[in-house]
Structure 1
Amino acid sequence: MNFSWLEDFLALAASGNFSRAAEERHMTQPAFSRRVRALEEWLGADLFDRSTQPARLTAAGEWFRPQAEDLLARVGRLPPQARATAEANASTLRLAATHMLSFSFVPRWLQSLEPHAVLGQVRLVSDVLQHCEALLAQRQVQFVIAHGLAGASGGLDAAGARSLAIGSDWLLPLHAPGAPARALLGFSDESGLGRIVRQVLGAELAHAGLQPVFTAHLASVLRSMALDRRGLAWLPQSLVHEDLQAQRLQVSGPAHWRIPVEIRLYRDAAPLGVHAEAFWQAAEKLAAGSRAEPLRVGE
């Protein structure tokens, strides 16, 4: 018996129309009719009275309808239950982090966690925030590390994820000496940093006369373009502190263009399993013991 036959049966039971049900199930009517007949042969009973228009359920069909609904519901619950069971006993930590944080923050932060937790095997996925969010929603990863606007909720917060501030940073408007004053180097829509800039300054920048000349989702790419005197870019201070000290890049614009951000660890609100929960508790302990004043501009 093919479980898709149950969906065919329920589609036909809802309308009694073979053509409409076949279209709903994305197949030709002859193929759909053969599948319904195959289910009836497997059960050993006619489920539909085909002498009427629309077709009506027989007594056996009326009995089978709730059985089919229950079977499909139970089958649908199996994958998440299997994943939850596997996750509860998993020893591999699955993290996703935005590209910049993957190489600039995560290795150092994981090292600082080692005295507080047995990390074991760690699998890190580096991607844009939009894809990291999808991985967490699909439970393909247990945690996401990304920038968030300080003191404000973001997309993952709105989706019900729990978060923990594990670091601080600034998004600074930067340009190289001699760069065009109104040329904007911007983040693409998939970028979490770009999302923050648009949330805080989107309306203002639209009226500030800045002209977008280049877009990318990697902060490192925008940094290279800014150093090449191509325009103004909002970049994390942690990425460009050496450029600031050497005066290869300079802060531009009014003071409120400097955006304080947090580095956050996100997780699903549901239980994650023993190993992942121990990791979360260690991260909470480390964050509580290392809370300090936010990074100052220029540090």
Structure 2
Amino acid sequence: MEFAWLEDFIALAESGNFSRAAERRHMTQPAFSRRVRLLEDWAGAPLFDRSSQPITLTEAGERLRPAVEEVLRRLAQAREELRQTAAESASALRFAATHSLSLTFFPAWIQRLGSELALGPIHLLSESMQACEQAMLESDAQFMLCHGHDAVAQRLDAAQFTSRVIGEDQLLPLTAPDASGRPCFHIGQDTATPFLAYSDESGLGRIIAAAQATRPQAGLRTIFTSHSAAVLRMMASDGRGLAWLPHSLVAEDLAAGRLVIAGQNAEAIPLRILLLRPRARQSQIAESLWQLTKPASDGP
């Protein structure tokens, strides 16, 4: 049974005439009649009384008509919903952003862009660096926001993806203060320092590993691991150990004295905030956003 036969059935039931129904269906009357016969063969019973003028439905046809009308109505409704979904998808912007930037940089940044460009629907995936990279590879996101560092190469193929610097940040070694306001733990202290580390999925973890490869820091003893800077921030604030945290995430904690720099020997690690995208052309709204982000410098 073909979908078009159902439309043929309704056309003949409404017009009561083979010629008019065939014209409505944009075909010759013989071809139209053959398709009606095929539908009746499929149904296993005559659907039209051809002895009357105008042609009327048989009892079997009357029983079939509500079902056919419901099928056609539902299919038309589903098609309209699919068209609306496709239109919304074409106008939507899909971002993948690391956890810390989702909390700190992204809200103000997208609001600023929204004051210059009608952005429409926005979908944000807030995840680890590894999960964001996978979203880009699977085309689940059009853009990715992450931290970058000169010593850490992007894992997304430069032949397929490009990047743009849209901001700056820094990683700071931080700890909770003791009762006198001094850091509970120090970089390079005599005893082993409890270290709150990033997991392998974390982009910040890659950056810290690269920095420590060039300037090793002895005496760190990993006691806790997470891919989320926000989780490490809470652990550090509770006095559980030392964590390297982005300044954008902890600026208020530093101002309030809830976190302090871990000793005089502590040095910040400079960070860039990167916007990545596929090199292939994207939707019109995505291309407009890319043009609107005036770069400090562009990636390869």
Partner of 2:165: 165
Partner of 1:190: 201
Partner of 1:132: 132
Shift in Å, 1:202 = 3.9
Shift in Å, 1:172 = 0.4
Point out where structure 1 has 5 or more consecutive residues left out of the alignment.
1-85, 292-299
Q: Is the contact made by 2:174 and 2:259 (CA closer than 8 Å) also made in structure 1?
A: yes
Query: What is the alpha-carbon root mean square deviation over aligned residues?
Result: 2.4
In 2, Cα distance between the equivalents of 1:267 and 1:99?
Answer: 18
SS of 1:118's partner is coil
In 1, Cα distance between the equivalents of 2:240 and 2:158?
Answer: 36
Given the superposition, is the C-alpha separation of residues 157 and 151 from structure 1 closer, same or farther in structure 2, using an over 3 Å criterion?
A: farther
SS of 1:212's partner is strand
TM-score, normalization: structure 2?
0.61
Q: Is the contact made by 2:169 and 2:271 (CA closer than 8 Å) also made in structure 1?
A: yes
In 1, Cα distance between the equivalents of 2:265 and 2:279?
Answer: 37
Given the superposition, is the C-alpha separation of residues 238 and 200 from structure 1 closer, same or farther in structure 2, using an over 3 Å criterion?
A: same
In 1, Cα distance between the equivalents of 2:151 and 2:164?
Answer: 12
Given the superposition, is the C-alpha separation of residues 183 and 248 from structure 1 closer, same or farther in structure 2, using an over 3 Å criterion?
A: same
Partner of 2:176: 176
Partner of 1:113: 113
Partner of 1:8: none
Shift in Å, 1:247 = 2.3
SS of 1:257's partner is coil
Question: Identity, % of aligned pairs?
Answer: 46
Given the superposition, is the C-alpha separation of residues 158 and 214 from structure 1 closer, same or farther in structure 2, using an over 3 Å criterion?
A: farther
Shift in Å, 1:123 = 0.9
Given the superposition, is the C-alpha separation of residues 230 and 105 from structure 1 closer, same or farther in structure 2, using an over 3 Å criterion?
A: same
Partner of 1:220: 230
Partner of 1:231: 241
Shift in Å, 1:151 = 7.8
Q: Is the contact made by 1:180 and 1:230 (CA closer than 8 Å) also made in structure 2?
A: no
TM-score, normalization: structure 1?
0.61
Given the superposition, is the C-alpha separation of residues 124 and 153 from structure 1 closer, same or farther in structure 2, using an over 3 Å criterion?
A: same
CA displacement, residues 121-163 of structure 1 (integer Å, 9 cap, x when unaligned): 1111111010100111111111001111158642236564211
Q: Is the contact made by 2:172 and 2:269 (CA closer than 8 Å) also made in structure 1?
A: yes
Please show how residues 281-292 of structure 1 align to structure 2 within 5 Å.
281-284=291-294, 287=295
In 2, Cα distance between the equivalents of 1:275 and 1:197?
Answer: 35
Q: Is the contact made by 1:201 and 1:257 (CA closer than 8 Å) also made in structure 2?
A: no
Q: Is the contact made by 1:271 and 1:277 (CA closer than 8 Å) also made in structure 2?
A: yes
Match for residue 266 of structure 1 among 260, 276, 287:
276
Partner of 1:64: none
Q: Is the contact made by 1:150 and 1:260 (CA closer than 8 Å) also made in structure 2?
A: no
Given the superposition, is the C-alpha separation of residues 131 and 152 from structure 1 closer, same or farther in structure 2, using an over 3 Å criterion?
A: closer
In 1, Cα distance between the equivalents of 2:263 and 2:204?
Answer: 18
Q: Which runs of 4 or more aligned residues in structure 1 lie more than 6 Å from their structure 2 counterparts after TM superposition?
A: none
Shift in Å, 1:201 = 1.2
In 2, Cα distance between the equivalents of 1:270 and 1:112?
Answer: 25
Q: In the alignment, does 2:219 pair up with 1:209?
A: yes
Partner of 2:122: 122
Given the superposition, is the C-alpha separation of residues 157 and 213 from structure 1 closer, same or farther in structure 2, using an over 3 Å criterion?
A: same
Aligned residue pairs total 200
Larger radius of gyration: 2
